Every structure is written in structure tokens, then in C-alpha cells.
Amino acid sequence: MSKKLTKRSEDYSKWYNELVVKADLAENAAVRGCMVIKPYGYAIWEKMQAELDKMFKATGHQNAYFPLFVPKSLFEAEEQNAEGFAKECAVVTHYRLKNNPDKKGQLIVDPEAELEEPLVVRPTSEAIIWNTYKNWIQSYRDLPIKINQWANVVRWEMRTRLFLRTAEFLWQEGHTAHATEAEAMEEARLMNQVYADFVENFMAIPVIQGLKSPSERFAGAVETFCIEALMQDSKALQAGTSHFLGQNFAHAFDVKFATKEGGLEHVWATSWGVSTRLMGALIMTHSDDNGLVLPPKLAPHQVVIVPIYKTDEERTAVAEKANAIKQELDQHNIRVHFDNRDNYKPGFKFNEYELKGVPLRIAIGPKDLEKDQVELARRDTLTKSFVPTAALTAEITQLLNTIQEALYKKAVDFRAAHTTSVATFEEFKTVLKEKGGFIAAHWDGTEATEEAIKKATKATIRCIPLEGDLEAGVCVFSGQPSKQRVLFAKAY
Amino acid sequence: MSKKLTKRSEDYSKWYNELVVKADLAENAAVRGCMVIKPYGYAIWEKMQAELDKMFKATGHQNAYFPLFVPKSLFEAEEQNAEGFAKECAVVTHYRLKNNPDKKGQLIVDPEAELEEPLVVRPTSEAIIWNTYKNWIQSYRDLPIKINQWANVVRWEMRTRLFLRTAEFLWQEGHTAHATEAEAMEEARLMNQVYADFVENFMAIPVIQGLKSPSERFAGAVETFCIEALMQDSKALQAGTSHFLGQNFAHAFDVKFATKEGGLEHVWATSWGVSTRLMGALIMTHSDDNGLVLPPKLAPHQVVIVPIYKTDEERTAVAEKANAIKQELDQHNIRVHFDNRDNYKPGFKFNEYELKGVPLRIAIGPKDLEKDQVELARRDTLTKSFVPTAALTAEITQLLNTIQEALYKKAVDFRAAHTTSVATFEEFKTVLKEKGGFIAAHWDGTEATEEAIKKATKATIRCIPLEGDLEAGVCVFSGQPSKQRVLFAKAY
């Protein structure tokens, strides 16, 4: 715990990896590419889950649960989707182990227990869900269906990083069915907005809402909405996606409904998801060289109280005061932790909570008791002040809001300083090299140009902004006409 | 929806299967042995999760998440545990699919993408977790570790039934590590008590707490505590288990800690879990020939309001009243649903909510408006009464408590009427055949006797009750001495 983090300026990637482990968020598991989400990391994820779940329910969605396994024949039904995920699928082929006849105490896969049909561990659940919806939908009266699922999914990625890209990750996936194209499109748009609201208001991370270019779309989608955030190292991170799936899955699984007018039509679909990847976005947006910085709304502990004492007598007196403060903060629904462990020194605790990003730290010693005050330290600014006990709750309540807003504003300012409009490809390359960030550039709309730019610079189209300015121009690469600027960046 | 359920007296098993599907709780998935938990069923499971999660946290546990996959070499490390689960493991052997060169549009498992080491889809997580704890535990200061995980697990059962036994199911699994045997044993006992409290107070299902006989213990456990419930068909159902694992996993994974005194010792362990199987217990304890009966504390909707009207004018007037009632009940934190759908008749709705077990139903028609009253129907007793609007909230608040208690009492009475002490094996067989239920009988403590009784009667030892009377006697089967009566039953 005492060992310092690598500085961001020295090696951003190393800083990230160290922070995730040292702040007790997650660690690599014994299974290649998988992670263990540790209690502190999971507590933050639970806060995200609770808030998102509330937002999903408020917009008329219900939770349900569909199987982990997708039979191969269902998996391959929607061709685009199958193609997109086939190369990274964990496949269950057997259902039994048996004793190794050659080595006592060891097991081997029982060759006699091979499945007739291999099962794909879900990389996403459209196939299994639409095969189920087929039986649920007969008439317009069965629509819409608006279901969300909290689940684990597996994508056999070759290069993995904690939270950002892991073979198994946790997520939610919404899957809705609608009678009309307009309604499905509106749903996809709405859920992207819900994601934007959540990420901005709760995680204090500003995002750009946009559409993906065809090459970056979800496999099987007609249109993919997304929210894109900018990390401190000037790389973009896709924080959530919401797909308008058209009738692709309805065609693949033959899902039709009787319309009010007596016709028979294929159902329209959406799907949308955010994952534990958001933990990566959280870390890389706010944290600093001392460790994690948490927005108060997501912090498991918003305030920690560290007692300072030498004698047993002092310990008792300080603890009494600390407990009284804790009780009052509890009553105001402020999440406070009193760390009264006797086998760690205050300095050790200060470092630990700094590393873990607790927004506010109260220190109380014998002198503070005399003066009826406490020392209050802000994690985001690393500033300290003395606050009279009587004013403490009000001060903390206000500061938690202040910090939440300050983190958001800081990130907005950073993004503004790292978003550049360019007119030429030379300028594009210079900005990308010298400053990075979002580059707003005209694009001719072709996959060929997108691919050529990617090849030359490693930057990709992060999104076609929904609220982009629609002034026409010429493509920075091809000189062909363009309807609006799109956002390029190197991305996670 | 109009089609009636099979009666319990005709075919209990068929009644159960029909109820699960018709009440929209779950259905069989396209994957052999797996289920889809539908929104209504999942909403009940969410209520269970929320309450259990609160109880786990109140007893000092934190949530975390460990990988879905267990490498074979870790899986086989604790031999007893591996032996217990090896025969029902889904095994991932490959990480990629590829296009079938012989059939366009079809995929095949890519033979070039075979894993070096097969991965077992977790049937339980002791192995992967203890392999992780090994790195977390060095000294007594790192103990205890008290972690819970909400997760899906897979056990390739050959005969499956919705909720009761499915290839994939949802559960929570607690895994704790302790410095002393006494502390671990106390934890195992405590969590069994937590389960008993939850199942009795929230699910209104009385349970017997006990210990499993050696042959019924969890594979890898030294001692297994359990809670056993009795279903309406006089068969027992194991509703939860809590295991004292001794140092078995610490030995298997070499997990030692430096003691305060400077020694080096193996760590003591527990694990404990309940699953979506509890949904089966819920259904089979309270429901009747009309459908599900839900204890108010677990009901997603505690009250439903069904409007009765003919004209549009009446519809408007009734809806106004219904909304006012809903608003007041909302304010009292009563979960109420106003079903104002115009395309279903009141009779259809009555049937639907009866089938779904909503504890209280309010019906309001034009005549009720005149009299400023509503009709209030109880799901458990199927009785109705007219209640003046002004007295409604108080009446409902009281009735919800009354129903919760009545369901529990009914189940306690049923169990009392179906628990029989027997002195001879003849009596044992007669009671089992004629009445079923729990049979309290003396047992000589040997596996041979247990096995012989099972073979002769299909009844097994459900548990050695913790609060059993310790009067000595002679075994009903062997005539050998016995220290206390144990509970036998046929079981799910």
C-alpha cells in the first residue's frame, strides 16, 4: 500500500493497471483474460447497477433472465450477428469429466459425453432472446416487450485489460420488441439518452451522443447509437451503445405479429447495453497520480473518519466524537465510514483512502476536540480546512455536491481543450500526434476513406454526433463532399 | 389464460409445471435443462435478492465477483469437491467458431482453437475462490474474509424441472475465511440461521434447521447445515445449505496465515448458498388450484385495482377514483397496480391476478362510487368484503400483515400434521405410504442403515435437527442404539 503509483505522465497504461489493483478494484484471475472484481470495485459497480436499474424501470422496462448458453443453430441464425461474434466464442462441447485412468486424482473431459450440438457461451443474447420472443408474440397486443437482463457474457478477446476488455464481463442488455419502426427507433434513441444522463449525472463523465459509422456498428444492427467519452490520455472510450436492429432478428427467427388492421408483420427490435467497462471510464476520467478519485454519487464511502491519538484515553475520547459525527451524517443519508482500526497508523489510512478515492476525509485528534473542530480534506483538490463541528454536516452536504459538479466541469473543460476542428488531413495528423483527443473533421461517408484514415493514423470514427453542426464541407481525406463533421479519435 | 390448472389432487407435478408457466414465472428454454425466468418470476426473485443482500451486509459480508470458468487443474485440486461435481460439468474446450466450408451460413467449432486446458463452467466456486484467497491471505490481519457472490452456476442434471432442478440456475454463494475453527463453525451456523429467518419471515415458509448426514453433505464439506421445508404434497425440499469446510480447501490450495503468535496455520472456511430453487419452495408451499399465492412481503404487486365499467363516462369516473386510491396506497409504500387496460374484461383480469397470486384485489364499479366503497378480495382465503373508501388504507395495511401471518401459520399447521414420530420400521413405511411428510425416527448413525432405508422406501435423512430432543432410543431399522431422532422424508 505504501508503494507509490507510477505517474500518469510516465506511463499512463501502467498507472491504470497499478491503480486498479492497488485501489482494490479488481485483479487478473487464474483464468486467462478474466478478472476478479474485488469487494471495493464491486461496491461501485453495485451503485451503478442500482441507479441504472431505477432508470430502466422508470422508462417502463422489466428485468428477466435468459440462458447462458446459445445452441449453435440459434447462434448462427442471424448471419451478420453470428459473423461478428463467431471468432471470439467460448464453446461448450462436453457435459462431463471423468477420472483420468492414467493419473490418479486428475480428471479428463469424458469423450463419451460430447454434446450433439455445441453450446456457445453468450457473447450477447439477441439470438436466444428472439428465439424466445417468437413464442411470446402473436398479436399487436403482445407488444411492446421491454425487457432488461443483468448478466455475465463472454467474448474471447486476445488482448485483455482489467475492466476495459476482459474475456468475461458483467453487463446489462436491454432487448425490446415493437410494432413499428418509429417506436423501435425512438426506444433506441431514448435508451442512449438514458445512458448519457446516467454517465453525465452520476459518473460525472461528459459524453457525446452520436451514431456509429456502418463499419463500427454492432453486428446485426441497422443503426447504432453510442455515447463516447474522452479519457485523460486523450483517447476516446465508447461508454455505451443502443442499437436499432430493424427487423433483422425478426426475420432470422420468423417473429411476426397480427396487426390491429388484420395484417401480419415482422417485429421491430432494439438492444442496448453498458458493462463493467464503465469502471474503466470512471477511473480514467477522474483519477490522479495519488489514486482513484470518485464522484460522490458513486462512492461507496463518501466520507471517512480517521482518528488521531496516542494514548488509550485519547483514543476513547476521539472515538466518542467520531461516533457522534458518524451518527449525524448517517441520519443525513451520507455514506460515512469510521476507520477505528488500531493496527494501522493515520498516515497509512490517509494513503489508503486517497488511493481508494473517498471524496472527503475527516481527521480528528485531541487538539481538535479542544477546539470543537475537525480537519476536512477534499480528495479531488487535495485541499484541507478546519471546520467547526457544528457546521460540519452542512459543509459536507454542500461539498459533496460541489465535488460532483467540479469533477464534471473539469472533465468538460478537458474535453473542450482536446476537441479540435481540422480542415486538412495534414492538420488532422498533426493534431492527433501532438494533442490527441476528438478531431472534428469532414468525412465523405465512405468505408474506404474511414479505413484509409484508420490505416494511416490509427484514429477511427467514434461517432457522427447527433447534435453536430450540419454545415457541409469537403472530406479531409478525399476532398469529396461531406454533410457534417464527424468525430475521430484513437480509442480504447 | 382461461384454461384452468390441473388440480393438485389429480396430478401435483402437472399442477406445478402448469402453474409456473401460466403464472408467467418461467418456461423451458431452447437449451436443454435451462429456463427463461420471465419478468413476473424475476420480480419475485429480485425481492428475495434485495432482502437477502441486506441481511448479508448486516452480518458483515461484502459482494464481489469471481470468474465463470474454472480451469480443470484448479477444479480437481480439492478431490472430494471435484468428485462430487465432475459428472455434471459443462466444459468449454474451444474458443472460436468458423464457417462450415461444406455448408454456407453454418458454423462449426474451429478445431484449431482448442484450449490447452479445458475450462469448467462453475458448478460452485470454492476452487476458483480459494485459489484467489491464497493471494489475499498472509497474516491473521487479513482475516476474516467474508464475501458473497450473486451468480449463475451450471450443473448438468439429467432430469430437470423449472426452478427445482435446472442445468443453469441463479444463486448466491458466500465464501468466508477464518483464523479459527470455532469462528468458521459459528459463521456456518449463523448463515444457516439467516436463511431460516429469511425463509420464515419473508417467504412465510417454516423450516427445520439441522445437520446433514455424512452421505448428504456437500462435496468437500466437513459439516453441512441446512434448512428443510415441507411441501403440500408431503415431500421435503432442501431450501438452503451452509457448509463448514474445515481446512479442506486451505489444504488443497495451500492457504496459510501467520498467526498473532508467530505460527503458520491453514485457514478455516465456510460456504453457503440459496438459489432460484426457493421459487419452487414458494410455489409449492402456498399455492392452490387457482394458481399462485404470494406472501405480501414478496409480492411484486401487493394490491391490484380492477375497474368495472360499461360506458366511457363510467370508465373515467372509476379511473379517477382508482387513481386516487393508488396514490394514497403508494404514499403508504404499498405496492399497488391499477390495471386500466381496456381490451380485457374484468373477469379475465380477476383470473389473471388470481393465477399470479396478488394478495389483495380491489374492484370498483359505478355502484361502489355511489356508496363510496370498494370490493376487496383476499387471494389466500378467496373471501370478499365491501370496505368504505375512507377505511381502505388502514384495512389493507392490516390485511397484508394478516395474510403474511396466516400463510405462515397454515404452513406450520400443515407441517405439524405431517410430522410423525415412529418407533418401528413397519410404522415408518406405513406412515410414509399413507401420509408422507417428515418422519422422526431413531437412526443408528451408519451410512449402511441410511442406504438400506433409502433403498426400501425412497426416503432419505433430510436432517439431524439442531433443536431435536436428545432422548436416546434404538434405530428403527437396525435396533442399534441411537442418540436422537432424525427426520426422514421423500424429497425434491
Alpha helices for B202-240 (secondary structure H): none
Give B-chain residues touching A95 at CB under 8 angstroms.
88-91, 156
CA distance A270 to A176: 5
Topology of domain A301-399, CATH: Rossmann fold (3.40.50)
The pLDDT assigned to B105 comes to: 86
B199 pLDDT tier (thresholds 50, 70, 90):
very high
Mutate to test the interface with A, among B107, B134, B175, B251 (most CBs of A within 10 A): B107
* Sequence-ordered strand ranges (E) for A334-422: 336-338, 360-364, 373-378, 384-388, 419-421
> Nearest-CA distance from A274 to chain B in Å?
17
Q: Is B25 helix (H, G, I), strand (E, B) or coil?
A: coil
**A109, B97: Cβ pair inside 8 Å?**
no
A469 pLDDT tier (thresholds 50, 70, 90):
confident
Give A-chain residues touching B128 at CB under 8 angstroms.
29-31
**pLDDT tens-digit profile of B212-221?**
999 999 999 9
Residue A394 amino acid letter? A
Q: Which residue has the cell 441504472?
A: A52
Is B188 exposed, middle or buried, given 0-12, 13-18 or 19+ CB atoms closer than 10 A?
A: buried
Q: Residue B487: which of B224, B242, B285, B208 has the closest Cα?
A: B208
**A152, B147: Cβ pair inside 8 Å?**
no
Backbone angles phi, psi at A169, to 5 degrees: -140, 165
**A36, B152: Cβ pair inside 8 Å?**
no
Do B219 and B241 form a contact (C-beta atoms < 8 A)?
no
**B168, A75: Cβ pair inside 8 Å?**
no
Statement: residue B468 has pLDDT above 80: no
Question: Is-cis flag, bond preceding A214, omega within 30?
Answer: no
**B132, A64: Cβ pair inside 8 Å?**
no
CA distance A484 to A481: 9
CA distance B402 to B396: 9
Residue B388 amino acid letter? P
Say whether domain B12-89+126-286 belongs to CATH 3.30.300.30: no
Q: In B217-247, which positions are buried (b, 16+ CB within 10 angstroms) versus exposed (e)?
A: bbbbbbbbbbbbbbbbbbbbbbbbbbbbbbb
CA-based torsion, A208, A210, A215, A220: positive or negative: positive
CATH class name, domain A12-68+129-286 = alpha beta
The pLDDT assigned to B2 comes to: 47
Nearest to A36 among B89, B132, B168 (CB): B132
Statement: residue A49 has pLDDT above 50: yes
Tell how many helices (H) and how many strands (E) occur in chain B: 14, 27
CA-based torsion, B452, B455, B457, B459: positive or negative: positive
The pLDDT assigned to A468 comes to: 74
Those residues whose C-beta lies under 8 Å from the C-beta of residue B410, and which sit 6 or more positions away, are: B286
Those residues whose C-beta lies under 8 Å from the C-beta of residue B64, and which sit 6 or more positions away, are: A36, A37, A38, A39, A42, B147, B148, B149
ipTM of the complex: 0.97
Is A39 touching B (CB cutoff 8 A)?
Answer: yes
What is the enclosing helix (H) or strand (E) of B51?
helix B39-58
Residue A288 amino acid letter? D
Side-chain half-sphere exposure of B420, counting CA atoms within 13 A = 19
Do A20 and A34 form a contact (C-beta atoms < 8 A)?
no
CATH superfamily of A419-489: C-terminal domain of ProRS (3.30.110.30)
Mean pLDDT of A286-311: 98
**A98, B86: Cβ pair inside 8 Å?**
yes
Q: What distances in angstroms separate CA B127 from CA A450, B77, B101, B122, B457, one per listed residue?
A: 47, 7, 40, 9, 36
The pLDDT assigned to B3 comes to: 66
Mean pLDDT of A40-63: 98
- Cβ–Cβ pairs < 8 A, chains A and B: 187
Q: Residue A239: which of A255, A223, A226, A248 has the closest Cα?
A: A226
Residue of B nearest to A46 (CA): B63
Do A440 and A470 form a contact (C-beta atoms < 8 A)?
no
> Nearest-CA distance from B464 to chain A in Å?
32
Q: What is the dihedral of CA B422, B424, B426, B432, to 10 degrees?
A: 30
Which three cell numbers, joined as nine digits, stand for A356? 481508494
Q: Which residues pair with B489 in a beta bridge?
A: B460
**A65, B30: Cβ pair inside 8 Å?**
no
**B109, A90: Cβ pair inside 8 Å?**
no
Residue of B nearest to A104 (CA): B79
What is the enclosing helix (H) or strand (E) of B377?
strand B373-378
Q: What is the DSSP-derived secondary structure letter of residue A491?
A: B
Alpha helices for B211-255 (secondary structure H): 248-253
CA A310 to centroid of chain Cα atoms: 44
**A82, B107: Cβ pair inside 8 Å?**
yes
Statement: residue A446 has pLDDT above 50: yes
Give B-chain residues touching A348 at CB under 8 angstroms.
none
pLDDT mean across residues, chain A: 97
Longest CA pairwise span in chain B (Å)? 84
Statement: residue A2 has pLDDT above 90: no
Do B52 and B68 form a contact (C-beta atoms < 8 A)?
no
The angle at the Cα of B206, spanning B202 to B208, to the nearest 5 degrees, equals: 125
Residue of B nearest to A106 (CA): B76
Residue of B nearest to A167 (CA): B67
Side-chain half-sphere exposure of A361, counting CA atoms within 13 A = 27
**pLDDT tens-digit profile of B425-461?**
999 999 999 999 999 999 999 999 999 999 999 999 9
Statement: residue A418 has pLDDT above 90: yes
Mutate to test the interface with B, among A38, A68, A116, A133 (most CBs of B within 10 A): A68
Strand ordering across the sheet containing B62-63 = B62-63, B145-154, B168-178, B268-275, B236-246, B223-230, B208-211, B460-465, B485-489, B438-442, B419-421
Q: Which of residues 52-81 of B touch A (CB under 8 A)?
A: 62-72, 74-76, 79
Do A6 and A237 form a contact (C-beta atoms < 8 A)?
no
**A30, B156: Cβ pair inside 8 Å?**
no
Q: How many Cβ atoms are within 10 Å of A157's Cβ, its own excluded?
A: 14
Statement: residue A19 has pLDDT above 70: yes
Question: Is-cis flag, bond preceding B67, omega within 30?
Answer: no
Statement: residue A323 has pLDDT above 50: yes
Percent of chain A with pLDDT over 70: 99
The pLDDT assigned to A3 comes to: 66
Mean pLDDT of B243-265: 97
Q: Residue B295: which of B307, B284, B282, B306 has the closest Cα?
A: B282
> Nearest-CA distance from B64 to chain A in Å?
5
**pLDDT tens-digit profile of B345-386?**
999 999 999 999 999 999 999 999 999 999 999 999 999 999
Residue A38 amino acid letter? K
Task: Please state the domain extents for chain B.
Answer: 12-89+126-286, 301-399, 419-489
Q: Which residues pair with B145 in a beta bridge?
A: B177
**Cβ contacts of B447-451, under 8 Å, gap ≥ 24:** B447/B213, B447/B214, B447/B215, B449/B475, B449/B477, B449/B478, B449/B480, B450/B213, B450/B215, B451/B215
Q: Which of residues 140-169 of A touch B (CB under 8 A)?
A: 141, 147, 151-152, 154, 156, 168
> Nearest-CA distance from B478 to chain A in Å?
35
> Nearest-CA distance from B11 to chain A in Å?
26
**Strands A145-154, A168-178: parallel, antiparallel or unpaired by DSSP?**
antiparallel
Mean pLDDT of B194-208: 98
A54-58, A79-83, A190-194, A225-229: the lowest-pLDDT one = A79-83
Q: Is A75 helix (H, G, I), strand (E, B) or coil?
A: helix
B4 pLDDT tier (thresholds 50, 70, 90):
confident
**pLDDT tens-digit profile of B78-128?**
999 999 999 999 999 999 999 999 998 899 999 999 999 999 999 999 999
Q: What is the dihedral of CA B364, B368, B369, B371, to 10 degrees?
A: -160
Strand ordering across the sheet containing A485-489 = A62-63, A145-154, A168-178, A268-275, A236-246, A223-230, A208-211, A460-465, A485-489, A438-442, A419-421
Give A-chain residues touching B92 at CB under 8 angstroms.
90-93, 121
Q: What is the DSSP-derived secondary structure letter of residue A343?
A: S
Which three cell numbers, joined as nine digits, stand for A94? 462436453
CA distance A282 to A44: 10
CA B118 to centroid of chain Cα atoms: 31
CA distance A98 to A111: 9
Mean pLDDT of B252-274: 97
CA distance A22 to A15: 10
Q: What distances in angstroms separate CA B106 from CA A73, A80, B182, one per listed residue?
A: 8, 12, 58
CA distance B488 to B435: 13
- Residue count of chain B, please give it: 492
Is A106 touching B (CB cutoff 8 A)?
Answer: yes
Is A46 touching B (CB cutoff 8 A)?
Answer: yes
